[in-house]
Amino acid sequence: MEVISSELQAKETLRNNHDIVLVPTMGNLHKGHISLIGEAKRLGKTIVASIFINPLQFGKNEDFDNYPRTLNVDLKKLELAGCDYVFNPSGNILQNIMEHKASDLSNKMCGKTRPGHFDGVVTIVGKLFDIIKPQHAVFGLKDYQQFLIIKKFVTQNHLDIKITGGPIIRERDGLAMSSRNNLLTPEERLIAPIIYKKLLWIKDNIKKLPKESLIKDSFNFFSSKGLMAEYLTICDPETLAEANNYDGSVLIAIAIKLGNVRLIDNILID
């Protein structure tokens, strides 16, 4: 596995590769990230992972400075997973970067409380696409909204890149794997699995109870356990518009604060 640290080096090294699958990450890798490498190997021959903690997608009071940085461990994990190249640029990648605006999908869900977040995401992803020139890119479905926004970004910019979503990987107790789980206290970590359990409860009762009751009960439940739900939505998995009937596919998505840690999760009902 080769580690690439500059834009020029990446372009020179990869210019003769025409079957590249890119897996963008911000590092602090867990089994969820590694599963994306497995998905990438199914799609193409040359696997490139990127590691860059992108300041453009963090708001003023968010956790950029505290985001876990574990580069040496990450590199070992990627090599064991069969990654071919790791692009680990410095902050210089942001110099003269072409800024992009995310689609209207960014106005919903996480975008309501994180203004500019998805603009930062598509800006850095656009830069990575321009440097690496992949034929495929793989993103985790835990951030389902991000997945949709990147798909739309590719379509709107007429990029010949296929975007694939990798399924959510969970801990044994159901908690969706996330780098931010490392920031939970031991007590908070014991509480966190109730998020997924409540999503499963909504799934089981979605055709039995009114949507308003499902959401109100869930908010009250989380509040009683010391969690603050930022949003909980039952929506169309393509447009993120609120769903009023459940005959087709439905996305149940949540963002929640547990202590100082913001966690997201979702369930897709086909």
Per-residue pLDDT of the chain (270 residues; tens, 9 = 90+): 999 999 999 999 999 888 999 999 999 999 999 999 999 999 999 999 999 999 999 887 777 887 889 999 999 999 999 999 999 999 999 999 999 999 999 999 999 999 999 999 999 999 999 999 999 999 999 999 999 999 999 999 999 999 999 999 999 999 999 999 999 999 999 999 999 999 999 999 999 999 999 999 999 999 999 999 999 999 999 999 999 888 889 999 999 999 999 999 999 998
In a domain, 171, yes or no: no
Q: Cα(201)–Cα(195) distance, rounded to whole angstroms?
A: 10
Scanning 181-233, the segments in alpha helix (DSSP H) are: 186-191, 194-205, 211-224
Among 132, 166, 200, which residue terminates a domain? 166
In a domain, 100, yes or no: yes
Same domain for 137 and 208, yes or no, is no
Same domain for 102 and 159, yes or no, is yes
What is the structure's pLDDT at 62? 78
Same domain for 193 and 261, yes or no, is yes
In a domain, 186, yes or no: yes
Same domain for 159 and 256, yes or no, is no
Same domain for 51 and 86, yes or no, is yes
If residue 149 lies in a helix (H) or strand (E), which one and from where to where? helix 144-156
In contact, 188 and 261? CB cutoff 8 Å: yes
Q: Which residues are catalytic?
A: 33
If residue 7 lies in a helix (H) or strand (E), which one and from where to where? helix 7-14
Same domain for 86 and 131, yes or no, is yes
In a domain, 174, yes or no: no
CATH number of the domain residue 234 falls in: 3.30.1300.10
What is the structure's pLDDT at 208? 93
- Structural domain containing residue 240: 179-269
In a domain, 173, yes or no: no
Alpha carbon separation from 135 to 26, 54, 76 (Å, rounded)? 21, 22, 25
Same domain for 110 and 228, yes or no, is no
What is the structure's pLDDT at 79? 98
Same domain for 26 and 121, yes or no, is yes
The identity of residue 221, as a single letter, is: F
In a domain, 249, yes or no: yes
Decide: residue 38, CB within 10 A, 0-12 exposed, 13-18 middle, 19+ buried. Answer: middle
Q: Cα(177)–Cα(265) distance, rounded to whole angstroms?
A: 10
What is the structure's pLDDT at 247? 80
Same domain for 63 and 91, yes or no, is yes
Same domain for 40 and 156, yes or no, is yes
In contact, 57 and 117? CB cutoff 8 Å: yes
What is the structure's pLDDT at 68? 84
Q: How many domains does the chain have?
A: 2
Strand 162-166 and strand 250-258: the pairing is unpaired
CATH number of the domain residue 159 falls in: 3.40.50.620
